[in-house]
A = this chain, B = another copy of it.
Amino acid sequence: MDPIKNYIETNKDRFLDELFGLIRIPSISSENEHKGDMVKTAQYVVDQLLKAGVDKAEIMPTTGHPVVYGEKTADPAKPTILVYGHYDVMPVDPLNLWDSPPFEPEIRDGKIFARGAVDDKGQLFMQVKAFEYLLSANQLQFNVKWLIEGEEEMGSPALAKWLPNHTELLKADLILVSDTSMIAIDTPSITVGLRGLAYMEVEVTGPDKDLHSGLYGGAVANPANILAKMIASLHDENNHITIPGFYDDVLTLTIEERRDMARAPFNLEEYKKKLNIKTTLCEKGFTVNECTGIRPSLDVNGIWSGYTGEGSKTVLPSKAFAKISMRLVPHQEPHKIAELFARHFEAIAPASVKVKVTEHHGGFPYVAPTDTAAYRAASKAYEAVYGIKPIPVRSGGSIPIISTFEQVLGIKSILMGFGLDTDAAHSPNENYHLECFYKGIETIIWFYKFYSGELEG
């Protein structure tokens, strides 16, 4: 057996024990009640890094949840890899849809079920364990820095502010990230594009208090009906977004680029079957992968108004709310899009209601080149472990901080993610295949080796 596989096999129970300890702390960054848990989780990460062999690791304060910084200097003359990950997780509601408690990791069918299993505690842990192996085998050819934050699921607002004051500390040649997915368990891929994000919250107010829907219905504007009308108008019959100027900065791909994209394996019937839907709903003129990869989108992430309990209540609500986010592609700018949205939403509000629009976090889209030493090394690493070359893909998701890294630190990232579409990240019953976890560790170890070779050769 090769020494890497042997090391993983020998230590796999310990790996899981350590990971489960991390998962058990409910580090939901967007919920105030978990503020204490965030610090506990950061400390757990510090302890794990120290255990893995870094020279130092510490919790560093930000304006929000703290970041964990660590470093291992192998040889000051060698290049430096900055490993980025996040210790925070998404909220868990609706709780009743979980088959096991979200913060009590459980292994079923060869998968870890828990919030954070894949996003990103499990994937972050692969990085720690790959590093641990290289160090224990005395094969670490790089200096390694660690930056593990606690607000990724909120769009990294505090880290974005913290970065400009720590550019010296974070000096590196490459950022290495495991926080994305691959095409299938036997079809590796490397994410070379991420969509940006603009996330809005809207409040529509009709009368200044809830009214009896019998006494007033028909004469007084109902903010829930109005909000529905406003949201409905944001897409036209071709599923184009109707906000004026929304598409102005969208990069149009060439026919050749689109043809290349279409080479990625994709089975529409399987896609629909997996989601249990009869048909997809795409922007006219674009395929599924184009709609999630190279085209922007607009989704209601939450909507609420009036009576939502059991039975009936005949209320004409005073207010209606929605959370609406837009995924962006090069060269759309999140803040500009947020402003276009706000201006448009206010403009289409009828005189019978008042509208308030606020902006949550945003993030720039990101595109990574494939003609670099890092991409080539990653490609060889996947091939060594999976037996086939990985496919470069543009993901529909967003990791806003990745484009911020490029802007502020001037460093490109390589996105080696081992999640799967079926992992239910952000959803009830989030899970992570143990096979992905172990192969991920192996692939990352090989990446370090090939990257060192690429740089030398």
> How many Å lie between the Cα of A361 and that of B306 in the bound state?
18
Please indicate which of the listed interface residues A207, A289, A307, A322 has the most CB atoms of chain B within 10 Å of its own CB.
A307
Taking the complex as formed, is A232 at the interface, i.e. its CB lies under 8 A from any CB of chain B?
yes
A211 CA / B275 CA spacing, docked (Å): 9
A143 vs chain B, min Cβ distance (A): 32
Q: Is A396 an interface residue (CB 8 A)?
A: yes
Q: Judge whether B301 and A321 touch: CB under 8 Å.
A: no
Tallying the copies of this chain within the complex gives 2
A1 on the B face (CB < 8 A): no
Instruction: Classify chain A's interface size.
Output: 35 or more
Is A303 positioned at the interface, with any CB of B under 8 Å from its CB? yes
Contact, CB under 8 Å: A282 / B209: no
Partner-binding segment picked from A100-108, A129-137, A213-221: A213-221
Stretch at the interface among A43-51, A70-78, A222-230, A408-416: A222-230
Say yes or no: A426 contacts B224, CB within 8 Å: no
| A222-B299, A281-B221 known; A311+B214 contact, CB < 8 A | no
Which listed segment binds B: A290-298, A334-342, A442-450?
A290-298
Chain B CB within 8 A of A96 CB: no
Contact of A219 with B276 in the complex, beta carbons under 8 Å: no
A280 engages B219 (CB within 8 Å): yes
Are B311 and A30 touching (Cβ within 8 A)? yes
Residues of B within 8 A of A309 (CB): 30-31, 91, 93
Which residues of the partner chain B approach A316 to less than 8 Å between Cβ atoms? 299, 301
Report Cα–Cα, A304/B320, bound state, in Å. Answer: 10
Known: A301-B316, A314-B301. A214 touches B195 (CB 8 A): yes
Nearest chain B residue, comparing its CB with the CB of A195: B214
A255: chain B residues at CB < 8 Å are none
Q: Is A407 part of the contact surface with B, judged by Cβ < 8 Å?
A: no
**Contact status B315-A303, CB under 8 Å:** no
Identify A281's interface contact among B219, B234, B278, CB under 8 A.
B219
CA distance A306 to B201 in the complex (A): 13
How many angstroms between the C-alpha atoms of A350 and B296 in the bound complex?
22
Q: Tell me the smallest distance from the CB of A291 to a CB of chain B, in Å.
A: 4
Out of B197, B211, B232, B235, name the residue touching A214 (CB < 8 Å). B197
B279 touches A351 (CB 8 A): yes
Residues of chain B lying within 8 A (CB to CB) of residue A424:
209-210
Q: Does A312 contact B (CB under 8 A)?
A: yes
Q: Is the CB of B312 within 8 A of A199?
A: yes
Cross-chain contact B352 with A397 (CB below 8 angstroms) = no
- Bound complex: CA A12 to CA B277 (Å): 64
Q: How far is the CA of A394 from the CA of B304 in the complex (A)?
A: 32
Query: Is residue A155 contacting chain B, with contact meaning CB distance below 8 A?
Result: yes
Contacts of A350 in B (CB 8 A): 281
Residue of B nearest to A227 (CB): B228
Could you say which of B291, B295, B301, B314 contacts A317, with CB atoms under 8 Å apart? Answer: B301
Chain A stretch 228-279: residues in CB contact (< 8 A) with chain B? 228-229, 231-235, 275-279
Please name the residue on chain B nearest to A426 by beta carbon.
B212
A384 at the interface (CB under 8 A from B): no
When A197-B214, A291-B219, A303-B224 are in contact, do A207 and B277 touch as well, CB less than 8 Å?
A: yes
Report the Cα distance A91→B427, complex, angstroms: 31
Q: Are the CB atoms of A288 and B214 closer together than 8 Å?
A: no
Please give the residue numbers on chain A whose beta carbons come within 8 Å of chain B beta carbons, in ascending order.
Answer: 30-32, 90-91, 93, 97, 153-155, 181, 195, 197, 199, 201, 206-222, 224-225, 227-229, 231-235, 275-283, 288-289, 291-292, 295-317, 320-323, 325, 327, 350-352, 360-361, 395-398, 421, 424-429
Given contacts A181-B215, A219-B291, A277-B352, 15 further A-B contacts (CB under 8 A): A30-B311, A201-B312, A208-B277, A211-B275, A212-B426, A220-B277, A224-B299, A225-B231, A227-B228, A229-B231, A278-B351, A300-B320, A302-B305, A303-B304, A308-B321
A-B contact pairs, 24 of them (CB 8 A): A91-B309, A97-B210, A199-B314, A201-B312, A207-B277, A211-B427, A212-B426, A215-B396, A217-B297, A217-B299, A220-B277, A220-B280, A221-B277, A224-B231, A224-B300, A225-B300, A277-B352, A300-B305, A301-B307, A301-B315, A312-B323, A312-B325, A312-B361, A314-B426
